Homo-oligomer: A and B are copies of this chain.
Amino acid sequence: MALSLEHVVVLAGGVGGAKLADGLARILPPEKLTVIVNTGDDFWHYGMRICPDLDTVMYTLAGVVDPANGWGVAGDTTATLEALKRYGEDVWFRLGDQDIATHLLRSEALRNGERLTEVMLRLQNRLGVLHPILPMTDAAVETMIDTVEYGELPFQTYFVRYRWQPTMKGLRYAGSENAEASPEVTAALENADAIIIAPSNPWLSLAPMLSVKPFSELLIEKHIPRVAVSPIVAGTAVKGPAAKLMAELGYDVTARAVAEYYGALINGFVYDLQDSSLIIEDKKTFVTNTIMQNQIDREHLAQLILRWITSEVWD
């Protein structure tokens, strides 16, 4: 019996996650789709709370994202950044001028005691985004990268300052032991009739979410489709450090290793045609072209995944 989807939840990191979320948002109305976003990359910088993944998803769904980078605001300038340089600052993190407006409004609201979830819902609404984009938690969870060269580094130092070149020995999600999913996230997961894990980095985007209580429990106990889209295609990452860090952490750099890493968390797996020879065990699978080069690709992939989910029987 075909499933009718009323509440889809997509779990997303940055650029790749934003693309699939955007594809889904073009098909599903706001009341049928919730995007839950990694906040493990968030940090304070020049007194501003910066939430790279939330902003990437928000800008993407608002249609204002920079199409070349996949993050930041299209056509943004860097006058503040240049002025910081004149003050002698080592400006390793790009701050767009329009982007700074987002950071200022968010930071002021957080300092006034508003929850991140509330702030972001307000900001996204003002940009005309109606599908709820929820931070995975209102608490501070910070992805920390243990590296061979520099010891433990905060995520942005590893990722942006050192351009993910240090060798990763391990990682942890500082603060997650005290972090709880927000009421909005809990409700979305409880009401979900399908959960899609976007082709984001499992270790850097998804694992931080799963480290927050009771995220994993809410997922695993549900008899609904819980499907992940592989961020690894043909032995490499579509974008970012996923392939490099998998090798460093001792995994095979394959879609199959991603499926195994997610383990019992998922009961379905989507991977690329280029990897069609891989055998994925213990899960329903769907093989298709997963590369999203433009908006048509996004919507198409989202459509195919939704059709596949509704055509299978899940238990």
* Chain A residues with a Cβ under 8 A of chain B: 46-48, 73, 76-77, 79-84, 86-89, 96-102, 104-105, 107-108, 111, 123, 126-127
Contact = CB atoms under 8 A, between A and B. Distances in A.
B104 A84 contact: yes
Contact of A83 (B89, B101, B107): B101
Contact of A97 (B47, B48, B77, B111): B77
A88 B47 contact: no
B77 A79 contact: yes
Q: Determine chain A's interface SS by DSSP, over half rule.
A: helix
Number of copies: 2
A142 to B, nearest CB: 19
A80 B104 CA distance: 9
B127 A87 contact: yes
A100 B87 contact: no
Contact of A79 (B76, B88, B104): B76
B100 A100 contact: yes
A108 to B, nearest CB: 4
Contacts of A102: 83, 87
